[in-house]
Structure formats: C-alpha cells, structure tokens
Amino acid sequence: MRLTVIGTGYVGAVHAACLADLGHEVLGVDLDAERIAELAAGRPPFYEPGLDALLKRGVDTGRLRFGTSQAEAARFADTHFLCVGTPPLPGTGAADLRYVEAAADGLAPHLTAGALVVGKSTVPVGTSARLAARLPGAEVAWNPEFLREGCAVRDTLRPERIVVGTSSPAAEARLREIYAPLLAAGAPLIATDPATAELVKLASNSFLATKVSFVNAMSEICDATGADVLTLVGAMGEDTRIGSRFLAPGLGFGGSCLPKDIRALAASVEGLGLGGSVAFLREVDAINSRQRDRTVELARRLLGGGFAERNVAVLGAAFKPHSDDVRDSPALAVAETVRQAGAQVRVHDPEAVDNARAACPALQFAPDVTKTCEQADLVLHLTEWPQYQELDPAALATVVRAPLLVDARHTLDAESWSEAGWTVRAPGRPRLG
C-alpha cells in the first residue's frame, strides 16, 4: 500500500522506516527541511538502535522517500499517519494539540473522498472527534504508539499489541491490511472505538509511572528504617499479580513520555470534572521529582556536607540507556544541580553528549570514563548504560581522588566495587562499603 507519515520526529521516523520495511511505499513529510534532507540521505536525526540500517534500506529500495509538502502527501496516498508531537502546555501540563491540528489543517484542503487519517500521537480523549470536524470527507482513526526509546524498532516490528480505534469496518479493515505482516507473525490486534484507543496510551504510561513511583516511595521508607529496597522489590516481583517489570527503584523516570503523559492525563480528566479519580497522579509526579533531590542529598552527605570545590564525575546524561534523548533527563538534572551547588562536574555518556552539551553548556564533558573520573572526589552513576556495568572498579580507583560512588540506578555490582576499595551508597539500601 501507499502510505504517508506526517511528522518525522522520533515516532514518525521510526514508523515510516518500519512501514517501508513491511513492504509499503511510504512518504514521510515534515516542515523541517533540514531534517527531511538528512532522512532522505538515509541518516537518522537521533540515535536509536537499528534505525540507521532500516532507514538506509528503505531509501535505497525506493520504498521510503521524504518531502515537505502535505499537498504532495495527499496526492501520494489516501491513508495518512499523524505522528507530530503533543508537548505539555506550560503551567497546566495539558497536551498542546496545536501541531496535531496544524497537520490536519494542512492536509484538509488536499484530501480526496474516502481518505483515512490515522492519529498516532498521544492525545486526550476526544481528539479524534475534534479532528474529524476539521477533515470533512475523511475518516479519523486512532492507532497509538507504544514505543520505548532504545527499543523502538523492535517494538514496532514485534509489537506486544496493536490498538486501532475506528468508526467503521472499512477503516479497521484498511489498518488490518497495513499491519498484515505483523498480525501474521502473531501480534494481537485490539479493535475498539477512537476514544478508547486514545485513552490506552495515557492509561498505560500512567500505570507504569505509578509502579516506578510506588517503589521509590518504598525506597524512602527503606532509607528511614534500614530496610533494603532491592530485597523488598525482589520479593514483591515474585508475586505474579505484581510482576517485577518497572519495579525499579532509583533516580526515577524522565524522557518525553511518562512525565508528560501522567500530567496530560491528570489535566484532561480534571477538565472533565473528575479530578478526584486521578489525584494520585499528582503525587506520582511529585514522588518521581523527589528522587532527584534525594540523590543530590545522598551525594552531599557522602562528601561530608557540601559540593564546593569538589570534582564530581557523572556517568550518564541520557534519560535512559540506548538513547541520546536528554529531555527531562533525571541524570542531567542531578548533574546540573550539583554544579550549581559549587562542584566541578564532568559528564560522560556513550551517545548523548552532544544533546547534553546543548542543554547544559556549563557542564564539562569527557570522551571516556577514565578521563571523566580523573581526580574525582565522587562518582555519580545516573544512567544505567550496560557499558558502566562492565567497568573495572579497581582500575578506576587509581584515577579518582576519593573512591566514593553513588549508584542511583542500582545496576552496578556493589560488592565488587566495595572489594575494590570504594565506599558505595544507593537510595533505599543500607551501607554497602
């Protein structure tokens, strides 16, 4: 089939490349001419494992092309995926729909009868109905994305579920045809109405955020009582009703999805007069933000009370591993707070240094871990890249000024670091060395 993808940011670029890899002819459209030029040359504008090869294959075969004209998009195909951003509105956290509406308005004058516009953006309930009024003669469906940065290609080509919200059997049939290779491989498709499809993404991310904040609340209690949060969550995770996924104590979540989505859901439900139903999401958000302050305070105590004239090495800048995304990054927030408290802060990250430097130019950056840790009075492990788990703590101890470590992600082997002479601290755990 011939398909267009409107918006070639993180979701759109991955979706377009994957649709082409499924055998469709795809046109990606974006107003950012520089980004379009990069994509047309087969170069992804961000780091995502596997995307570069997929993008190059699509461009080389001719199944994937890019442009800047929505009129061209309407001529190219009659099925259009909207993949533009929905950033939070300042002050309220509600989703800003101006880019979704602008994309729809740009398409509207050019659409032919029977066109299908499929939203993938994360939006409040009722958005598809609002767009339908702006797109006379076209049907609007919703097909939320469930991509995890660092696993986005795999999540698209091997999805845990595909959700489609449509108002007609014909639209559902068209989406089933688009995703036929995935359905044949065993991916489940959940067909529902547009409102339910819109709500699924927000509900899923809010539930996951709640699990993370719950375990971090338990981490605070462990700090106060001397209990061990890792043993606690290990025991909890053995309960099949709870499960171990997302029971991850530490620095908390960041990025462009979970924080934004819990605030957007709370704001939209409050707008319906049902704020009491999601009041707990405000506390989920507050608990998550508190983890950054807890990590800074743990570091401060380990240094004897202050950061002034201390050298602090930071391992990790991206909000999560396998990504170069620093949007709402807990790691970068902690690094900047420590710098503002008087420390000289040097940061390492395998992929996110350029974005981190643009976001926080006052921080220092180093090309490798050894250089980052030279003469450090404290090492902060803030993003759980696998490379950091492979470090030799004994070798690293020879380059620091003081072997002090805060493992804010609980993924380093505390015993081996302690045996190498390090004093190790981690949120929610008793003294480790």
Mode of pairing for the β-strands spanning 79-82 and 2-6:
parallel
Q: Which residue has the higher pLDDT, 431 or 286?
A: 286
Indicate whether 78 and 221 sit together in one domain. no
Residue 144 pLDDT: 97
Query: In the structure, what pLDDT confidence band is assigned to residue 432 with cuts at 50, 70 and 90?
Result: low
The parent domain of residue 344 ranges over 193-433
Taking a C-beta distance cutoff of 8 angstroms, is the pair 323, 352 a contact?
yes
Residues 151 and 237 in one domain: no
CB 103 within 8 A of CB 158: no
Residue with tokens 């091997």: 158
Mean pLDDT of 223-228: 95
Interval 77-111: pLDDT, tens: 999 999 999 999 998 899 999 999 999 999 999 99
Number of structural domains in the chain:
2
- Looking at the fold, whether 162 and 279 belong to one and the same domain comes out as no
Domain co-membership, 52 together with 147: yes
Q: What pLDDT is attached to residue 430?
A: 85
**What is the DSSP-derived secondary structure letter of residue 346?**
E
Asked if residue 142 and residue 66 are part of one domain, the reply reads yes
- Under a CB-based contact definition with an 8 Å cutoff, are residues 230 and 215 in contact? no
332 touches 326 (CB < 8 A): yes
Residues 71 and 218 occupy one common structural domain: no
Reply yes or no on whether 257 is catalytic: yes
Q: What is the pLDDT of residue 69?
A: 96
Neighbours of 99 (CB within 10 A): 18
Q: What is the CATH classification number for the domain harbouring 45?
A: 3.40.50.720
For residue 182, give the DSSP letter. Answer: H
Same domain as 188, residue 199: no
Instruction: Kindly tell me if the per-residue pLDDT of 331 is higher than 80.
Output: yes
DSSP per residue over 306-317, as a string?
--TT-EEEEE--
Distance CA 256, CA 265 (A): 14
Kindly report the number of other CB atoms within 10 A of residue 200's CB atom.
18
What confidence tens digit (pLDDT) does each residue in 360-403 have?
999 999 999 999 999 999 999 999 999 999 999 999 999 999 99
Do 427 and 295 share a structural domain? yes
Q: What is the mean pLDDT of the chain?
A: 96
CB 166 within 8 A of CB 141: yes
What is the per-residue pLDDT across 270-309, written as a single tens digit (0 to 9) for each? 999 999 999 999 999 999 999 999 999 999 999 999 999 9
Q: What is the pLDDT of residues 160-191, one digit of tens each?
A: 999 999 999 999 999 999 999 999 999 999 99
Range 410-424 average pLDDT: 96
Q: Which of 18, 83, 257, 360 is catalytic?
A: 257
The type of residue at 93 is G
Q: The pTM is what?
A: 0.93
Q: Averaged over 249-265, what is the pLDDT?
A: 94
Query: How does residue 51 score in pLDDT terms, banded at 50, 70 and 90?
Result: very high
